[in-house]
Amino acid sequence: MRICIINGPNLNEIGTREPEIYGTLTFQSAMDSWANDYPDIQLELFQSNHEGAIIDHIQLRKQEVSAFIINAGAYSHTSIAISDALRSVDKPIIEVHLSNIFKREEFRHKSLIAPLAEACIVGMGMQGYKMAIKYLLEKI
Active site amino acids: 97
**Choices 48-56, 60-68, 69-77, 130-138; region in contact with ligand DQA by CB under 6 A:** 69-77
Phi first, then psi, for residue 11 (nearest 5°) are -75, -10
**The only residue of 48, 73, 93, 117 in contact with ligand DQA, by rule CB under 6 A:** 73
The 11-50 site mask, x for binding ligand DQA (CB under 6 A), equals ----------------------------------------
Q: How far apart, in whole angstroms, are the C-alpha atoms of residue 72 and residue 9?
A: 7
- Helix or strand holding residue 136 (H, E): helix 127-139
DSSP symbols for 58-96? HHHHTTT-SEEEEE-GGGGGT-HHHHHHHHT--S-EEEE
**The only residue of 91, 108, 118, 127 in contact with ligand DQA, by rule CB under 6 A:** 108
- Decide: 94 and 67 in contact? Cβ < 8 Å: yes
**The only residue of 6, 70, 86, 101 in contact with ligand DQA, by rule CB under 6 A:** 101
Three-class SS state of 44: strand
Would you count residue 71 as binding ligand DQA (CB under 6 A)? yes
Residues in touch with ligand DQA (CB under 6 A): 10, 71, 73-74, 76, 97-99, 101, 108
